[in-house]
Structure 1
Amino acid sequence: MPLDMRLYLVLDPERTGGRDPVAVAEAALRGGVTVLQLRWKNGPLREMLRLGEALRDLCRRYGVPFLVNDRVDAALALAADGVHVGQEDLPAAVARRLLGPQAYVGVSARTPEQARAAEAEGADYLGTGSVFPTGSKENAIWIGLEGLARVARATRLPVVAIGGVQAENAGACIRAGAAGVAVISAITLADDPEAAARALRSAVDAALAERGRPSP
């Protein structure tokens, strides 16, 4: 399925305010999320696979790509649409070889050098940040909008801004060169995840239109 990067949800089941992560994901999809990634940091792999199967099936119903963070083995087991890897995970070229040419491979890139290396290895898109201060990731390095712009200029790949993104600053990320924004808490910890997703999607679409790039 096509990769529409406008609103990328990273779903961490530990950051849903105690709510069912599948219900939160469905609300977000109703609100306009265009990519969903499962981020699993703690707990048994069997539980990850159970949740991943439910999220994968939900994404299929909504026609949205389902990706897995870090774990290429889990992406294979779940027949996911792809994987997102960091600088300390498997290289993009290895992930591609294991998952096949049809899979999406995203790479975290904080610098132009990392962006160019990921593109050379066959990545499909980049996740860049932390653009703003965030509490969702320990020891996150804050690169700001200028750092985001430098990465976007260094590559032909679509760049997704992540880290502290809210509806109020999503448009600034697009104006800096991002193709979309990736969020965790801004949706999953919101009182109304559907409304939060809708507000973010609206901000991104408006900024893309200003930039002269109509939304898909």
Structure 2
Amino acid sequence: MEMMKTKQQAIAGGIYLVINPAMDEDVLLNKLTAALRGGLQAVQLWDNWAPGADKHALINKAGELCQSYDVPLLINNDWQLLIENPLLNGIHFDEIPDDIAAIRAQVSREFIAGITCSDDLLPVTYANENSFDYISFCAMFPSPSAGSCSIVMPETVRQARALTAMPLFVSGGITPANAGQLKVTVPFDGIAVISGIMSADDPEEIIKQYKDAAGI
């Protein structure tokens, strides 16, 4: 199956949606469809699968939806799924991987690579040195979806911008109401969102509000 985007074209900024595969599948896919209509930069399948889940079945359904909107679909942490499913366009690591060169060799095709960063800038340096494609900071504000992420100080993101030209995403507790003020103090290119979109009655409309508020 042909890849829809090259790695270099894939992620620049905008709204990055993280979807929870433990959600009811019909609800998840309906919300994803509405969000794609609103305009997404990327979609990530969070590493939160229900026991016994058919991962490839959901990847195929989500991947076909994303492909129809020319939006890349990434998997969280489980990079071996990239080998098994061509509808996946990349991987998001929560931590620095043991051997990215070996992973790339085994996947044996171009893929997008991103990583989470908190207040420790080591992942930024690592990502820069290993030709990753973006960084996501977690969390800017307290959020149930952010899990164990520590709160990131604005100065950390500013320091990251001085270290790299890679797109910087921010996440955790960001809403249309606070996104504009955050943009004043933090040099980000995009916002990564889970519950702010997936719990909304109208994901398409809420994405437009995020974009308008942050000017992205």
For 2:211, which of 201, 208, 212 is the aligned residue?
201
> Any idea what SS the aligned residue of 2:146 has?
coil
Contact 1:93 1:122 in 2 (8 A): no
Distance 1:199 1:100, change over 3 A: farther
- 1:85–1:106 CA contact under 8 A, matched in 2: yes
Unaligned runs of 5+ residues in structure 1 are 209-216
Residues 115-134 of structure 1 correspond to what in structure 2 (within 5 A)? 115-134=124-143
| 2:85 equivalent in structure 1 | 78
Once the two structures are TM-superposed, the CA of residue 43 in structure 1 deviates from its matched residue by 2.2
Q: Tell me the equivalent position of 1:55.
A: 62
Is the counterpart of residue 141 in structure 1 residue 144 in structure 2?
Answer: no
Structure 1 pair 21–63 and aligned structure 2 pair: CA distance change class (3 A): same
Q: Cα 1:102–1:135, aligned 2, differ >3 Å: closer, same or farther?
A: same
State the secondary structure of the residue aligned to 2:62.
helix
Matched, 1:107 2:115: yes
Distance 1:93 1:151, change over 3 A: farther
Structure-2 change in CA distance of 1:180 and 1:91 (3 Å):
farther
Contact residue 115 and residue 123 of structure 2 kept, 8 A? no
Is the 1:124–1:158 Cα contact (8 Å) retained in structure 2? yes
- Cα 1:200–1:92 change in 2 (3 A) is farther
> Secondary structure of the residue that 2:145 maps to in structure 1?
coil
Q: Is the 8 A contact 1:5 1:160 kept in 2?
A: yes
CA distance in 1, matches of 2:52, 2:46: 12
Q: Please, what is the CA RMSD of the aligned residues?
A: 2.2
How far apart are the structure 1 equivalents of 2:123 and 2:96? 12
1:6 CA displacement: 0.8
User: 5+ residue gaps in structure 2?
Assistant: none
C-alpha offsets along residues 136-166 of structure 1, whole Å, 9 cap, x if unaligned? 1322201132332222222221111111111
Q: Counterpart of 1:36? A: 43
